[in-house]
Amino acid sequence: MSKRDYYEALNVARNASEAELKQAYRRLAMKYHPDRNPGDKVAEEKFKEVKEAYEILTDARKRAAYDQFGHAGVDHSAGGGYGGSADLGDIFGGVFRDIFGGARGGGGQNYRGSDLRYTLDLSLEEAVFGTTAKIRIPTLVSCAGCAGTGAKPGTKPTSCTTCRGVGQVRMQQGFFSIQQTCPRCQGRGTIIPEPCETCRGSGRVEEQKTLSVKVPAGVDNGDRIRLSGEGEHGEQGGSAGDLYVQIRVKPHPIFTREDNDLYCEVPISFTTAALGGELEVPTLDGRMSLKIPAETQTSKVFRVRGKGVKPVRGGPTGDLLCRVNVETPVNLTKEQRDLLQQLADSLEGGGKRHTPQEGSWLDGVKKFFEEMKF
């Protein structure tokens, strides 16, 4: 009986890509799989046919031979033996790995170590101007006694007899079979007959290590600094993970930060607010003089350009914003009270409104009560 054309069997064009072949194979293999069609000989033959077509057409050398000579060009290279029970682990291979994920094991495989996280507390000045911090962290490092193998000095790991060093075993249920991680060696492919006494066979020991962390200027809460290879060492000589240093900026007694701007509260006397003057205000890199114009109201914000934070990722430096709070004088003497009373009488009898906010507020109150009468 002559074989059907492989492209026809998969229902694809002769110039189909590997991705198109795979998609067609998935669809047809699932459709005709014997587990879905128990006792159906026609479906079983269809299943074998699409498997054979897929294996030939996804092999570049065999596909070229088939395109040139037809079945005669691949009968020998493709080999017989498509009859009998098929091995699902071989048939679906990449298909099942795409769906369920590949097994972790593998003979002689090394495992990358875990990533670590460390929270670094900084002052606002350190975050704004940058610093170099020393940190001490606990981590797992390669055992010096066994060089990370986990085996007692003078011995070495041996191949696992259960999986024969592959790290995987096959579970068979009738026609259906699937690969799983070897339960004896946990996918490593080797076992340790005589574990190292120092690390008890793990190949790693816990150790405290001190690192120097260069903090760039401008970092803020939540920023992370990655130190490649400073995490835990991997098992069986595997590569080390990374260390992520999480930045946490401590509260400052004077300044608060919002993005790249700094804010501070500046108390001023009511005479300075009324008559104007100059104040000395702090900045992160020293002091500066701030001019207060006459008739300044409380909560007025003065912006000082370029006295904020230089962004860590580049861009213009932020500003310093000073919010003034007019203070009411306390602990007045009788003479001071009399003088204030004279000032109050003068302001009230001058015929001019000297309190703009109070006047507008009183107008609003008056209107409110008038509307309530209706």
Same domain, 151 and 226: yes
User: Which of 36-40, 86-90, 347-351 tops mean pLDDT?
Assistant: 36-40
In 302-355, which ranges are continuous DSSP H helix?
334-348
Please tell me whether residues 190 and 245 are part of one structural domain: yes
- Model confidence at 84: pLDDT above 90: no
Q: What's the domain range around 229?
A: 116-249
Q: What is the pLDDT of residue 240?
A: 83
Do both 306 and 352 map to the same domain?
Answer: no
Token representation of residue 231: 């995490």
Residue 329's CB: how many other CB atoms inside 10 A?
A: 11
Q: pTM for the whole thing?
A: 0.55
Q: How far apart are CA 143 and CA 139, in angstroms?
A: 12
| CATH number for position 274 | 2.60.260.20
Q: How many domains does the chain have?
A: 4
Last residue of a domain, one of 226, 249, 272: 249
Half-sphere exposure of 228 (CA within 13 A, CB side): 0
- What pLDDT shows up at residue 255? 95
User: 254 pLDDT band (50/70/90 cuts)?
Assistant: very high
* Structure confidence at residue 187 (pLDDT): 77
pLDDT tens for 144-201 read 888 888 888 888 888 888 888 888 887 766 556 677 888 888 777 888 888 888 888 8
Q: Check which CATH number belongs to the domain holding 14 and give it.
A: 1.10.287.110
CATH code at 159? 2.10.230.10
Residue 149 located in a structural domain: yes
16, 35: one domain:
yes
Question: Is 137 buried (19+), middle (13-18) or exposed (0-12) by CB count in 10 A?
Answer: middle
Residue 108 lies inside a defined structural domain of this protein:
no
244 and 160 belong to one structural domain: yes
Q: What is the tens place of the pLDDT at every residue in 273-290?
A: 989 999 889 898 888 999
- Token digits for 261? 């701007």
Q: Mean pLDDT over residues 318-343, rounded?
A: 92
Structure confidence at residue 88 as a pLDDT band (50, 70, 90)? very low
- What pLDDT, on a 0 to 100 scale, did the predictor assign at position 154? 87
Q: Does residue 129 share a domain with residue 243?
A: yes
Q: Quick one: pLDDT at residue 220?
A: 93
Question: Given 217, 249, 281, which residue is the final one in a domain?
Answer: 249
Contact indicator for 263, 304 with CB cutoff of 8 Å? no
Mean pLDDT of 32-37: 81
Is 111 within the bounds of a domain?
no
The answer on 314 and 343 residing in a single domain is no
Does residue 352 carry a pLDDT above 70?
A: no
Q: Report, as an integer, the average pLDDT of 288-300.
A: 91
Q: In which band, very low, low, confident or very high, does the pLDDT at 206 lie, cut at 50, 70 and 90?
A: confident
The answer to whether residues 245 and 267 belong to one domain is no
Q: Which of 255, 250, 260 is nearest to 282 (CA)?
A: 255
Q: Is residue 283 part of a domain?
A: yes
Helix axes 60-69, 41-57, angle to 10 degrees: 100
Q: Is 263 contained in some domain? A: yes
CA angle (337 as vertex; 334, 339 as ends), nearest 5: 110
Residue 367 and residue 342 share a domain: yes
Candidate from 97-106, 214-223, 229-238 with smallest mean pLDDT: 97-106
Of 71, 100, 129, the one marking the end of a domain is 100
Residue 39 lies inside a defined structural domain of this protein:
yes
For 21-56, letters b (16+ CB in 10 Å) and e give bbebbbebbeebbbeeeeeeeebbebbbbbbbbbbb
Same domain, 124 and 198: yes
Task: Give the pLDDT of residue 263.
Answer: 96
Calculate mean pLDDT across residues 254-283.
92
pLDDT of residue 99: 34
- Work out the pLDDT band at 19, boundaries 50, 70, 90: confident
Same domain, 137 and 234: yes
What is the overall mean pLDDT for the chain?
81
pLDDT of residue 361: 66
Asked whether residue 1 is domain-assigned, the answer is no
pLDDT of res. 93: 41
- pLDDT of 97 above 70: no
Q: How far is CA 285 from the centre of its chain?
A: 34
Residues 123 and 242 grouped into a single domain? yes
